[in-house]
Amino acid sequence: MDIPAPDTNTTSASPHHAQCYRALTARDARFDGVFFTGVSSTGIYCRPVCPARTPRASSCTFFSSAAAAEQAGYRPCLRCRPELAPYALQQNLAYAVWQRIAAGALNHCDDGSALEQLAVTVGLSSRQLRRVLVQHFGVTPVELAQTQRLLFAKKLLQETALPMTEIAHAAGFGSVRRFNALFAARYGLAPGSMRRAAADDRRGSDALILRLAYRPPLAWDALLRYLSGRGMPGLEAVHENAYLRSVRIDGVSGWLRVTHSPLKNQLQLDIAPALAPQLMPLLARVRAQFDLDANPTVIDQHLQQDALLAAQIRRVPGLRVPGTFDAFELAVRAVLGQQISVAGATTLSGRLVARFGAQAETPFAQVTHHFPEAGLLAATAVDDIAALGMPRSRAETIRAIALFADQGGLAMRPGLSLASAVAHLRGVRGIGEWTAQYIALRALRFPDAFPAGDLGLQKAAADGLSETTRLSEKTLLVRAAGWAPWRGYAALLLWHSLQKSDSAAITPSIHDEPSQKDQV
C-alpha cells in the first residue's frame, strides 16, 4: 500500500482519507511518522501505530506533521507518544529546513534573529522561508519550532529525571516560565503531570536514557558491522552489540552508547548527563548516523525491480546507509581511505585521533579521545600529519579538508543539489569524484550519491561473471541510472553482497578504494 503524505488541511472527504484510515486500522508501522491522526471525539492526535482502539473514520482528520495537528487544536497522545515517531524523510527544501529546526536551529531566541540567521543559511529571505514552510506544512517556522520544543520536552519529561530547568533549557526554551506557559496553553496540563517514573530503565545507571523509533525492518547487525569496520580507534567502537563513542558538541563533552530494542522498533541511547544542554542536536545526529528516517518499504519497492538487488534485499532486509555523527570526521576518514584498504585507513585514523585528539572521559575502555578540531588540523604542519604514515600529498589533503571545514564548507545550505554538493567538495585539492560522492552519501545524506569509481561496486554489479570481472565506471553508471533516487542504498546492498556469509566481515581491500582520479 503506497500512501502519500496527506496535506495539512486534509479532511474526511479528501482523496487520502480512505488510504490513511486503512493504514491506521492496520496499525501499519511503515507509515509511522508519515501522517498523524487527529481524533475529534477525544481532541488528541496519534501515530498510525497507536495501540488505542481505532476511532471511527468520521472522527479522523489526517495531518502530515505533528505541528499541523497541534495548530488545529489537538494534543499529543500519551500512549503512542507522537514525539517518538520517525521523521517523514523527503528530499525537498521544506523538509531540509524542518530537520534543522528539529535539531534546534531556532532555540533560545524569540526575537526573530535566529529565524533571520536560518534564512541566510538557506539562501532565502525570512519572508520566503516562512512561505515555504506554510505552503508545505501549514504552519510558520515559529509554530513548527514551538511544536518541536514541546514534543522534545514531553519526551524528556517521560524518559528522564532531569529537573524542569534543565528540560526547559535542553528543549530550547529561554526560560522555565516560558516553557510552563506554552506547555499549559498548548496541552492544558502542567509539565510535571507528564512525569513518568521510568525507574526500571534508570536504576543503577547514571546515564540519561532516551529512545528513537524507526520504521522496520532494520538490519542492525549489518549496520554495526559496517560501522565497526570503519570505526576510528579511540573515538568510537562496537562492543557487545552496542555502538560507543565520545561526543563533543559546541564545547560540551561526554559520551554515547547506542543499542537496539527490536521488539519496540527503537534504538536506546545511554547518554552522559553532561550532554543534557545539547540533547536536541545530539539526537538529530544519531538519527542521521543510523539512518532512522529511511522508509525501507518505499526504497525496496523501487530497488527490487533489479534482480541482483532484489536477491540482496531478501537476504538483508532493512539495510540502511550508515551516516556519521560528524561530517568532518567522515570527510577525514574518506581521505584516509583513498587507495588503501579499510583496515589500513582504520589504523591511520586511530593514529590521527591519538596524536591530535583531546582526551575524553568515558566509561568505555575503547573510547579515550575526541576527534581533532578542524581548526587544529588546519593549523598543523603537513609533515606532522604525514608522520602518521601517509604520503605527503595525502597529508596536504587532510589539511585542505580541515581548512575547508573550519571555514564552513561542510555546512552546505538545505536544498543544494547532489551535483552542486559534489562540485563544491571537488574544489578541495585532493578530493576527487569517489571521495566527494562518498562524503555526500554518508556525511551529507544524499540518498542518490553513488561512488561509481569504487572497485567493490564495480565487481559486485558484474553479478558473479567471474572473480576478476568488473564493470567499468561508465557502464556501472548506466546500470545505476535505474536505481535513482536511491542509488546510495543500492551501493550498500552491493557492498554487502561481497560478503561470503552474513557473519563475515566486509571485505577490507575493496570498498573504500577510490579510482586513480582521487590522487593529487
- Catalytic residue positions? 46, 454
Q: Which amino acid is at 378?
A: A
3-state secondary structure (DSSP) of residue 260: strand
241 burial level (CB within 10 Å; 0-12, 13-18, 19+): exposed
- Closest Cα to residue 518, out of 437, 462, 452, 434? 434
* Alpha-carbon torsion (210, 214, 216, 220), positive or negative: negative
Q: Look at residues 349, 318, 331 and name the one whose alpha carbon lies nearest to residue 229.
A: 349
Which cell numbers in the block locate residue 243?
555502538
> What are the distances in angstroms from CA 257 to CA 268, 290, 301, 324, 398?
8, 13, 33, 14, 28
- Cα–Cα dist 313/177, whole Å: 51
Query: Is 321 in contact with 489 (CB distance < 8 Å)?
Result: yes
Tell me the C-alpha to C-alpha distance, in Å, between residue 61 and each of 12, 56, 143, 298: 6, 11, 20, 24
User: Could you tell me which of 79, 71, 59, 68 has the C-alpha nearest to residue 8?
Assistant: 68
Q: Are 496 and 506 in contact (CB under 8 A)?
A: yes
Q: Under a CB-based contact definition with an 8 Å cutoff, are residues 335 and 403 in contact?
A: no
Query: Is residue 266 within 8 Å of residue 213, measured between CB atoms?
Result: yes
Please report where in the chains the cell 567471474 appears, as a residue: 466
> Cell numbers of 39, please?
481524533
Q: Is the peptide bond before 86 cis (omega within 30 degrees of 0)?
A: no
For residues 281 and 103, give the distance between their C-alpha atoms in angstroms, rounded to a whole number: 5
CA torsion 166-168-171-175 (nearest 10°) is: -120
Rounded CA-CA distance 497/429 in Å is: 33
Instruction: Name every residue whose Cβ is closer than 8 Å to that of residue 169 and which is 6 or more positions away in sequence.
Output: 108, 276, 277
| DSSP state string for 450-511 | --TT-HHHHHHHTTTS-SS----HHHHHHHHGGGTT-HHHHHHHHHHHTSSSTTSPPPTTTT
DSSP class of 18: H
> Is the Cβ–Cβ distance between 126 and 119 less than 8 Å?
yes
In this structure, which amino acid lies at residue 231? G
HSE, side-chain direction, 13 A CA sphere, residue 297: 14
HSE toward the beta carbon, residue 283, CA cutoff 13 A: 29
